[in-house]
């Protein structure tokens, strides 16, 4: 805090406050309160504009659809991020791929559709920084894996039924032994 005497007996007092802001502080308000001789004076409120680099969100994904690939990349940043796509080592360009990007607040959502690919990544960038994400490509069950999945389920059910039938047959073939049958000299005691 520093104070200086201004002309006419007036004093100027300057106080500085420092804090470490993060992305959660974006659009929060900040004001100052000063009290002198029991009177409080509040400064005008200032809205914080916190800039931060893009962060690609966990719900970004790719999947095989209708013989091609469909991907969604979501990134949060301030200022808003631009999203770029790389497919099999090259930038995804028209006419093979179609991309659309929409913005909601500080979140950018970009969608990519096009022919099948084996390696897709999205890159989100703004003036503060960059984030890149290598996207796994998910194959839905409707893409030819359904028959294999049904066969696996049927096989597991058959194995479980086979084990159950074998256990029942073994139990019927060998009835439980009574304790008195084990004692040959005491057979007359068994009822």
The per-residue pLDDT for range 52-108, each reduced to its tens digit, is 999 999 999 998 887 788 999 999 999 999 999 998 888 866 678 899 999 999 999
The rounded distance, in Å, linking the Cα atoms of 114 and 68 is: 6
User: Residue 54 in contact with residue 76, Cβ under 8 Å?
Assistant: yes
Lowest model confidence (mean pLDDT) among 8-17, 93-102, 177-186: 177-186
Which tokens is 36 given? 């002198």
**What span, in angstroms and rounded, lies between the C-alpha atoms of 112 and 182?**
77
**pLDDT value at residue 149:** 58
* Whether the bond into 79 is cis, omega within 30 of 0: yes
Write the CATH number of the domain with boundaries 53-138. 2.60.40.10
């Amino acid at each position: 805090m520093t104070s200086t005497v201004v002309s006419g007996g007036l004093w100027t007092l300057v106080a500085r406050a420092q804090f470490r802001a993060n992305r959660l502080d974006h659009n929060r308000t900040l004001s100052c309160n000063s009290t002198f001789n029991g009177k409080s004076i509040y400064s005008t409120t200032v809205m914080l504009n916190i800039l931060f680099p893009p962060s690609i969100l966990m719900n970004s994904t790719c999947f095989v659809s209708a013989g091609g690939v469909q991907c969604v990349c979501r990134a949060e940043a301030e200022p808003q991020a631009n999203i770029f796509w790389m497919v099999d080592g090259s930038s995804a360009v028209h006419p093979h791929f179609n991309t659309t990007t929409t913005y909601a607040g500080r979140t950018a959502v970009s969608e990519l559709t096009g022919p099948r690919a084996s390696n897709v990544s999205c890159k989100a960038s703004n003036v503060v920084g960059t984030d890149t994400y290598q996207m796994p490509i998910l194959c839905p069950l409707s893409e030819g894996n359904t028959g294999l999945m049904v066969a696996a389920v049927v096989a597991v059910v058959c194995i479980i039924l086979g084990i159950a039938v074998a256990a029942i047959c073994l139990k019927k073939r060998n009835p439980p032994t009574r304790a008195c049958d084990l004692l040959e000299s005491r057979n007359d005691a068994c009822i």
